[in-house]
Amino acid sequence: MCLIAFTLGQNPLFPLVVAANRDEFFRRPTASMDWWTTDQGQAVLSGRDLQSGGTWLAISREGIVSAVTNVREGTPEAGARSRGELPLSALYQSTDHLKAALASSSGHYSGFNLVRLTPAEGWYYSNRDAHPGRQVHRGLYGLSNHLLQTPWPKLLRLRQNVGLAVRDASEDVSELHDKLIRLLQDTTTAPDHMLPDTGISLDTERFLSSPFIAGDHYGTRATTVVTVSRDGQIDVTEQSWGPNAEKGDYRHFDWQR
């Protein structure tokens, strides 16, 4: 997962809204979003990484959402453990327990950002943050491949647009999901003077600078929207993508918390 915008308490109808794109190599085997049961017997709704296991974004029956993004580093070292474990661990652990566990194990992973979100609050942890582990309160947030709220152009663009869409949303959840899915398909690239310097080539920085990435071998593979309403209705929509933004599976799930 490479770009997430989320809101907490920004619309009384929808206290939690998450809009996210997962970017990955198309050759990496992946299962589309569905319900499955972990080895610990916990029900999880997520896509699944069939190469290393785990996932990039997961939802529990109670409407908790957890997601991980990589930290973009010019010459990253492979971690001893897969970052795909982290969203699964975050779903069913308290933040205090999770923070204590990560304090001793976060060095086993390559650079990551982890968020755990409920309709009431959020929690953020990065093993590249000087002071990892902090609460996230009411507001509008963006997360890409650097620390939370790092003002990369695509993050600013998506965050602003998602904030406006959530602010103006009516009770029609389908309309909100459709609008957010469209916003996540934004292929606008950033001008060179606004590009971050993350240790990769300028051409690659340009290629990765749009909210939605359309490429032959690498690009956006899943667009996901999650809303939790004030009455406990949970809706999840995911559109999968193939090379050059070819549409794949479209899935929608809804249930009452």
Please state, in angstroms and as integers, the Cα–Cα distance from residue 59 to each residue in 46, 109, 211, 224, following that order.
7, 22, 22, 11
Query: What's the CA gap between 181 and 158, in Å, rounded?
Result: 11
Q: How many domains does the chain have?
A: 1
Length of the chain: 257
What 3-state DSSP class applies to 8? strand
Residues of the chain with pLDDT under 70: 1, 74-76
The secondary element (H helix, E strand) that includes residue 99 is: helix 95-105
**How far is the C-alpha of 206 from the C-alpha of 188, rounded, in Å?**
10
Rg (CA), the chain: 17
In angstroms, the CA 190 to CA 59 distance is 31
Residue pair 4/122 in contact by the 8 Å Cβ criterion: no
How far are the Cα atoms of 80, 85, 155, 182, 190 from residue 186, in angstroms, in the given order?
Answer: 35, 29, 11, 7, 11
Predicted pLDDT at 76 = 66
Q: Which domain holds residue 163?
A: 3-256
Query: Nearest 10 degrees: CA dihedral of 135, 137, 141, 146?
Result: -10
Place of tokens 């996932």: 55
What single-letter DSSP state applies at residue 245? G
- Phi/psi at 83 (5° precision): -65, -20
DSSP-derived letter for residue 135 is E
> Which element (helix H / strand E) includes 49?
strand 43-49
- Distance, in Å, from the CA atom of 214 to the CA atom of 158, rounded to the nearest integer, reads 16
Q: Are 28 and 47 in contact (CB under 8 A)?
A: no
Question: End-to-end CA distance of the chain, in Å?
Answer: 25
pLDDT of residue 1: 62
What CATH code is carried by the domain that includes residue 58?
3.60.60.10
User: Which residues lie closer than 8 Å to 164 by C-beta, 6 or more apart?
Assistant: none
For residue 181, count CB atoms less than 10 angstroms from its CB and return exposed for 0-12, middle for 13-18, buried for 19 or more.
middle
The model scores a pTM over 0.85: yes
Which tens digit of pLDDT belongs to each residue from 195-206? 999 989 999 999
Provide the pLDDT for residue 53.
Answer: 87
